[in-house]
A and B are shown apart, each in its own frame.
Chain A
Amino acid sequence: GQQLNQSPQSMFIQEGEDVSMNCTSSSIFNTWLWYKQEPGEGPVLLIALYKAGELTSNGRLTAQFGITRKDSFLNISASIPSDVGIYFCAGQPSRSGTASKLTFGTGTRLQVTL
């Protein structure tokens, strides 16, 4: 099945560093979502974006909906050990009988060292 291109695939950073990851698609999406998944658990919604160009923050997390509607970015500032996990982007289509169907990215695995 289709998956969005997400990069980087994995990151090893030190506590306190900032993190950036992005997600690109060949299709336009009406909504972009960012989820975090920890081992043995389901994805947890972090941020939802609804408009092209929108910049939204949730604590230390900031995400942007790309102008072309084909990409999105997530930044984490001042990383802490509990940020460890896999981050997934997900897009919802603009014109579809199932407009809320999510297409997920390939994931970015984040490791934080002390």
Chain B
Amino acid sequence: ETGVTQSPTHLIKTRGQQVTLRCSSQSGHNTVSWYQQALGQGPQFIFQYYREEENGRGNFPPRFSGLQFPNYSSELNVNALELDDSALYLCASSLGTPTSGREQFFGPGTRLTVL
């Protein structure tokens, strides 16, 4: 069974640029959630994708957007990067419907640094 994978591992961008982060869900998992973890804090929910549609969003502006593909993999896009976007971005996958509250399994994360 393959776990959650994310790419790239590290990324350095400058303010104003755009970035795309990628996530492959654990085998058989159909729901993907994205979290932002600033240094020294717990992860914060960005949004969730189920059946290729966004299903719930946390307190993040529209310049944070995403996609889910038919194979359940997902992308997180961030436009007009700001210094405060520097963080570890975590992808988590789970099996079932979003209302069933199943366990989420996390990938290793992508460390984004905005200069």
Let me know if A102 and B45 touch, CB within 8 A: yes
Let me know if B109 and A42 touch, CB within 8 A: yes
Let me know if A41 and B108 touch, CB within 8 A: yes
Let me know if A106 and B103 touch, CB within 8 A: no
Q: By DSSP majority rule, is chain B's interface helix, strand, loop, or mixed?
A: mixed
Interface size class of A (residues with CB under 8 A): 20 to 34
How many pairs, one residue from A and one from B, have CB atoms within 8 Å of each other in the complex? 83
A1 contacts chain B at the CB level, 8 A cutoff: yes
Provide the residues of chain A in CB contact with B45, threshold 8 Å: 1, 101-103
User: Which of B33, B48, B104 has the most C-beta atoms of chain A within 10 angstroms of its own C-beta?
Assistant: B104
The interface of chain A, by Cβ under 8 A from chain B, is 1, 3-4, 6, 30-31, 33, 35, 40-45, 48, 88, 90, 92, 96-107
